[in-house]
Amino acid sequence: MGAKFEVRENNRIIYFYYDEPWSVDDIKRVNDDAIVYLDKATVDMHILINVEKIRQIPSGILRARNVPTMSHPRCAHIVICGASTFVRSLSETIFKVTRYEKAKFFTTEAEAMKFLQDAITNEAGKS
C-alpha cells in the first residue's frame, strides 16, 4: 500500500496514512498531493499522520525531513498517531535536528482527531 492522502473536516485536516511496505517516494508523492491544498488554503490547515502500521523505516528516510508540507505557512499543527517506540524516537530525533517544534504525538487516531478538532474550534472562536 505505501501511503494514502485525503482531506478531512471541511478541508481543515490533511490526513496521511502510511502502511508497509512504504518508501521515501511514497512520502514525497502524498506530500506533493497535499501541498496543492495548502497552497490554495485561506485558513490554516492541520496535518494528521497515522503510522500505526509502520514498524520499519525505509532507507533514505532522512531525505524526507524537508517535506514542504511541514514548513508551509498554512500548516498549523502536525500530529502523529500510532507510532511505535522506535518510530517515535526516530521522528523526535529528526524533529530535534531540524529544530521542528510543531509535532505532537498521540497513541490513537481518535485522540489526535480530538486534539485537531478542538484546535479548529478554538480558531473559529477567535474569528
71-113 pLDDT per residue, tens: 899 999 999 999 999 889 988 887 887 787 888 999 999 999 9
Report in angstroms the alpha-carbon separations of 117 from 13, 42, 64, 79.
9, 18, 27, 12
Between 65 and 42, where is the model more confident?
42
pLDDT of residue 67: 77
- The answer to whether residue 68 scores a pLDDT higher than 90 is no
Q: For the domain bounded by 3-126, which CATH number is listed? A: 3.30.750.24
Spatial separation of the C-alpha atoms in residues 16 and 34, rounded to whole Å = 9
Each residue of 33-42: pLDDT tens digit? 999 999 999 9
pLDDT of residue 115: 97
Q: What is the mean pLDDT of residues 10-39?
A: 94
User: Which parts of the chain fold into alpha helices (H)?
Assistant: 24-40, 68-71, 85-97, 109-126
Contact by Cβ (8 Å): 80, 104: yes
Contact by Cβ (8 Å): 42, 73: no
Spatial separation of the C-alpha atoms in residues 27 and 17, rounded to whole Å = 10
- The answer to whether residue 127 scores a pLDDT higher than 70 is no
Spatial separation of the C-alpha atoms in residues 109 and 76, rounded to whole Å = 18
Q: Map out the domains of the chain as residue ranges.
A: 3-126
Average pLDDT of the chain is: 90
pLDDT of residue 60: 80
Spatial separation of the C-alpha atoms in residues 7 and 26, rounded to whole Å = 17
pLDDT of residue 5: 93
